[in-house]
């Protein structure tokens, strides 16, 4: 059963109860890892384990327990038994709720760190008390945490689905197509363009499936399904190593279950 997360801006007045601390050095999360399980620090403050954060942000509550993000200095000496791990390494090792909160936390840490000064007039920014935003007291510019929308689409042809291998994928792994939304595009236009650019085919019957925050580094993945319409696969070599049609009963190595890519693939297998 998933725990309930309620986002928040203003931290509790009383800070005497333990909280989840999503503390980062650069883009690596502080965890205690035991075999195949990762543990996020659950403390009243990071000072309990000898750490002093550069900046912190209140995230909200997880089953009424406070949650904070924290930026640690780059020369941080790690407490005994703790290590730093990138979020990709922790995929499937952290509890799902904590992994998703880690993704939220790293984006807020990065926004907090990179928006100390106004991008227009260089004045130090002021944190707004009741929304996740910073305002320039000089020129009034307001900055919110950045999100980069991206589409991901499962293209089917009967009982086959289109899978591709990108250069960055682990050995043997295939997934469905994805790409970032460009200025002036609708999501549906992005789906058509990305499929056409990456594999050279035309699609139809585009339908919304669902969405997933994806903190690598700050994406919102919007999932779609579509049906093959016309054309032969011709891959874009700068984007892909290989692509092809795979029958639902004969699939290669796939992305992990937590990803929206895998949720789309599992849905296709179950419904076709």
| Residue 11 labelled as part of a binding site | no
| Residue 85 labelled as part of a binding site | no
| Residue 5 labelled as part of a binding site | no
| Residue 243 labelled as part of a binding site | no
| Residue 67 labelled as part of a binding site | no
| Residue 131 labelled as part of a binding site | yes
| Residue 118 labelled as part of a binding site | yes
| Residue 69 labelled as part of a binding site | no
The span from the CA of 175 to the CA of 252, in Å, is 9
| Residue 202 labelled as part of a binding site | no
| Residue 219 labelled as part of a binding site | yes
Are 151 and 187 in contact by the 8 Å Cβ rule? The answer is: yes
Question: How many other C-beta atoms can be found within 10 angstroms of the C-beta atom of residue 266?
Answer: 12
| Residue 150 labelled as part of a binding site | no
| Residue 214 labelled as part of a binding site | yes
| Residue 237 labelled as part of a binding site | no
Tokens (6 digits) for 26? 């650069």
| Residue 217 labelled as part of a binding site | yes
Q: Could you tell me which residues are beta bridge partners of residue 30?
A: 84
| Residue 207 labelled as part of a binding site | no
| Residue 21 labelled as part of a binding site | no
Backbone phi, psi, residue 46, to 5°: -70, -20
The span from the CA of 246 to the CA of 272, in Å, is 13
Count Cα neighbours of 153 within 13 Å in the Cβ-side half-sphere.
Answer: 30
| Residue 213 labelled as part of a binding site | yes
| Residue 144 labelled as part of a binding site | yes
The span from the CA of 7 to the CA of 9, in Å, is 7
DSSP line for 195-251: HHHHH--EEEEEEEEEEEEETTTTEEEEEEEEEEEE------TTTEEEEEEEETTS-
Q: Which residue has the tokens 């998933």?
A: 2
Binding site listing for a divalent metal cation: 178, 194, 198, 239
Binding site listing: 88, 118, 121, 131, 136, 139, 144, 178, 194, 198, 212-219, 239, 261
Binding site listing for substrate: 88, 131, 144, 212-219, 261
Binding site listing for Zn(2+): 118, 121, 136, 139
């Amino acid at each position: 059963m998933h725990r309930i997360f309620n986002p928040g801006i203003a931290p509790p007045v009383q800070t005497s109860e333990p909280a989840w601390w999503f503390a980062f050095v650069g883009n690596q999360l502080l965890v205690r890892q035991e075999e195949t399980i990762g543990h996020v620090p659950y403390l009243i403050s990071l000072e309990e384990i000898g750490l002093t954060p550069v900046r912190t942000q209140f995230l909200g509550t997880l089953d009424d327990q406070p949650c904070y993000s924290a930026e640690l200095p780059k020369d941080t000496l790690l407490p005994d038994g703790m290590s730093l791990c990138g979020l990709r390494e922790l995929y499937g090792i952290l509890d799902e709720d904590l992994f998703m909160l880690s993704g939220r936390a790293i984006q807020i840490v990065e926004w907090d760190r990179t928006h100390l000064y106004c991008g227009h007039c260089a004045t130090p920014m002021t944190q707004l008390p009741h929304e996740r935003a910073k305002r320039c007291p000089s020129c009034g510019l307001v900055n919110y945490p950045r999100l980069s929308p991206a589409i991901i689409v499962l293209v089917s042809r009967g009982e086959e689905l289109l899978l591709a291998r990108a250069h960055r994928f682990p050995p043997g792994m295939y997934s469905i197509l994805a790409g970032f939304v460009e200025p002036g595009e609708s999501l549906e236009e992005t789906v058509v363009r990305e499929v056409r650019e990456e594999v050279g085919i035309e699609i139809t019957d585009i339908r919304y499936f669902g969405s997933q925050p994806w903190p690598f580094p700050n994406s919102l993945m919007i999932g779609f399904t579509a049906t093959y319409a016309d054309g032969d696969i011709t891959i874009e070599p700068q984007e892909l190593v290989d692509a092809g049609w795979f029958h639902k009963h004969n699939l290669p190595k796939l992305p992990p279950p937590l990803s929206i890519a895998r949720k789309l693939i599992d849905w296709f297998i179950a419904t076709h």
